[in-house]
A and B are shown apart, each in its own frame.
Chain A
Amino acid sequence: MSPDPAPQTLLDKIWERHLVRPQSEDAPAVLYIDRHLVHEVTSPQAFAALKARGLRLRRPERTFATMDHSTPTVPFAAHEQPPYASEETRKQVAALEENCSAFGITLHGWDSPHRGVVHVMAPELGLTLPGMTVVCGDSHTATHGAFGALAFGIGTTEVGHVLATQCLLQRKPKALRVTITGRLHAGVSAKDMALCVMAALGAGGGAGHVIEYAGEAVRALNMEERMTLCNMSIEAGARAGMVAPDRVTFAWLKDRPHAPRGEAWEAALEDWRTLHSDEGAQFDKEITLNARLMAPMITYGLSPDKAMAVDSITPQPCSALEREALAYMGFTPGRPVMGEKVDVVFVGSCTNGRLSDLRAAARILRGHKVAEGVRMLVAPGSEAVRRAAEAEGLDEIFKAAGAEWRLPGCSMCIAMNGDMAQPGELVVSTSNRNFAGRQGKGARTVLASPATAAASAVWGEIADPRAFMEVPCVA
């Protein structure tokens, strides 16, 4: 009888399945990529490299493209040209259209009912399945790990490698398990959980690692919430984040356009049920957090790990740099930030642009108005999210409150398409990065959940969403 195989992590299992060649001292592993997602910003130079070498796409059927980053979100009529912010953005999108048609890639462009932010639209189509390797020239590819896939962002040179060979040269990352025990209180969301994890790990705390999120609190999340959690993994420097697939995952995937059907579905389920870290599997690093201690969070500094409970006070800076970051934000050490005047509120992005996010914001806005002097933008994550939101009247709630209801796209998350804040403006944003200038030169970004963003819009100040909910305020 052969001895029991050594217990494996989920990462080990997916890694092993995709080895074309194992790594050696001299060379990284050759890793097979199941799914490649492409968008307009990080692909043109990769297509150019292929053309320069006279290469074709190895697996067009494994490659899907959409346009989201520099595409306008201002609604326009069917006979009009999309209102691009500049000639360059128009050309960049046109280049993607040309490249997709030249190389035979399915593009979910302006005429597709599935167009959207790449990390929102791909899972909706069932393009991300448990056990897959998924890559995209975008660091928030970690989102897809919510399905128990190994999904990570790559640079443009590597985009070219995958286009040409469907493979990547990779060293195996280390495994980091983040276990979250207990249950979240009402009024506390997956975004708050993600910000708590970032605060615990620090901006570089996950470097070199793939995070596996585990524990009761993670199991209790639905798929949209798991995507929010995995999405932020890169903000701790981790290459990827993942959650082992379970019944919640399978129920969500069933009957999605690209999910297996019939007998193939049954066979897939049987296989997917093996995709979890074995009892006793060794992780290179582990941390445990308690969901019961989590509150609605906001950021106060210039990286996503500088996060704290919305009702607490900013810490005393420990260095000149931290002092400068607080000064940039216009916050005083040792003071609350609740009550700080807000100029712009953004709800959207691959972190919080899904239907449940829009519902959470709408629940707070219903019957209220966006405060005088505050501009609020809501950009659904995809056309599917937009349709679903409009079908249940969420757009009407936003518009009645005085918010702008936009087309799907990255919008103010990256501020490439003309949607941006002015210098000095304070933005409460449901996106994932509060780097200096991320939302416009000189703009100040506070990251928060959709509920906190909506509450801040109504109040005109950074606000605790629990004030709008029938939930006890537990500190």
Chain B
Amino acid sequence: MSLDAMPLKPFKTLRSKTLVLAAQDIDTDQIIPARFLTTTSSAGLGQYAFYDWRFDETGQPRNSDPLAGKDPQAHRILVGGANFGCGSSREHAPWALKDYGFAVIISSRIADIFKSNALKNGLLPIEVEAGIHTDLLDNPGCELVVDLEACTLSRPGHWTHTFSIEPFGRRCLLEGVDPLAFLQKCEADIARFEARHA
């Protein structure tokens, strides 16, 4: 099998509405509760995204949560409160969000491991400054345009913001570069390192 097997679908631009979850410190146990981590596959986890927010103790929809009644395909940009994705390293969190329908996560601060996991799964994490963040929190459902090539986030008719993103992660998303294939191409260096430290 080729080294470049299973690249991500490239991501260039997206125009969609936001879904706002304003709480700070939304942790990975909220994004997907641990009891749903017993799976051995990464597919189909969207049904468990924010499960305990969406369903009550008896499994009935609460219909009072911020996700209720919102068509996931029309709200592909999640705006979260500060420190989004804190907590565990479970990659099930981005898997669940991606499968639910999200393509972009925006916050003033996104937790390190979550950010790294998200990028590896074609879920674009964007950190924005406080002013933009406040505007987004105050205007749930507004339409945004994300342009990864230009690294811009705009709210048409209002503002355009340039965001920064780790360049390698950006390239992986834009070009569908596979990081594992990249690492495998470092084989000669790895072997040299191992020989030196044997």
Q: Please, which residues of chain B bring their CB within 8 A of the CB of A53?
A: 1, 3, 5-6, 180
Smallest beta-carbon distance A4→chain B, Å:
25
Q: Which of B30, B83, B88, B190 contacts A204 (CB 8 A)?
A: B83
Of the stretches A429-437, A455-463, A465-473, the one at the interface is A429-437
Contact B89 A139 (CB under 8 A): yes
B166 at interface, CB cutoff 8 A: yes
Which residues from 406 to 459 on chain A have a C-beta closer than 8 Å to any C-beta of chain B?
414-416, 423, 433, 435-438, 441-442
A268 at interface, CB cutoff 8 A: no
Q: Which residue from chain B places its CB closest to the CB of A17 in the assembled complex? A: B197
B91 at interface, CB cutoff 8 A: yes
A349 at interface, CB cutoff 8 A: no
Contact A204 B111 (CB under 8 A): yes
Main secondary structure of the interface of B (DSSP, over half): loop
Smallest beta-carbon distance A225→chain B, Å:
23
Interface size on A, residues (CB 8 A): 65
Please measure, in the bound complex, the distance between the C-alpha atom of A169 and the C-alpha atom of B169, giving whole angstroms.
10
A161 at interface, CB cutoff 8 A: yes
Contact B38 A86 (CB under 8 A): yes
Contact B24 A321 (CB under 8 A): yes
Contact A239 B52 (CB under 8 A): no
Mask: chain A, 68-106; 1 = CB below 8 Å from B; 0 = not: 011000000000000000101101100100000000000
B87 at interface, CB cutoff 8 A: yes
Given A207-B111, A437-B29, CB of A26 within 8 Å of CB of B167 = yes
Mask: chain B, 28-39; 1 = CB below 8 Å from A; 0 = not: 011001110111
B27 at interface, CB cutoff 8 A: yes
Q: Which of B57, B86, B89 contacts A42 (CB 8 A)?
A: B89
Smallest beta-carbon distance B52→chain A, Å:
5
Please measure, in the bound complex, the distance between the C-alpha atom of A433 and the C-alpha atom of B197, giving whole angstroms.
38
Contact A165 B190 (CB under 8 A): yes
Contact B5 A52 (CB under 8 A): yes
Q: Please, which residues of chain B bring their CB within 8 A of the CB of A433?
A: 27, 29, 87-88
A157 at interface, CB cutoff 8 A: yes
Contact A415 B52 (CB under 8 A): no
Which residues from 18 to 68 on chain A have a C-beta closer than 8 Å to any C-beta of chain B?
20-21, 25-28, 30, 32, 41-42, 44-45, 48-49, 52-54, 58
Contact A44 B168 (CB under 8 A): no
Contact B167 A21 (CB under 8 A): no
B182 at interface, CB cutoff 8 A: yes
Q: Which residues of B contact A (CB under 8 A)?
A: 1, 3, 5-6, 22-25, 27, 29-30, 33-35, 37-42, 52, 57, 81-83, 86-91, 109, 111-113, 116-117, 120-121, 166-168, 171, 179-180, 182-184, 186-187, 189-190, 193-194, 197
- A sample of 26 inter-chain contacts (CB < 8 A) reads A26-B171, A30-B190, A45-B42, A45-B91, A49-B6, A52-B1, A69-B37, A88-B39, A155-B117, A155-B120, A157-B117, A164-B183, A167-B190, A169-B183, A204-B82, A204-B83, A207-B109, A207-B111, A239-B113, A321-B23, A415-B35, A416-B38, A437-B33, A437-B52, A441-B52, A442-B52
Q: What 4 A-B pairs come out closest when comparing CB atoms? A: A155-B117, A44-B40, A88-B38, A204-B83
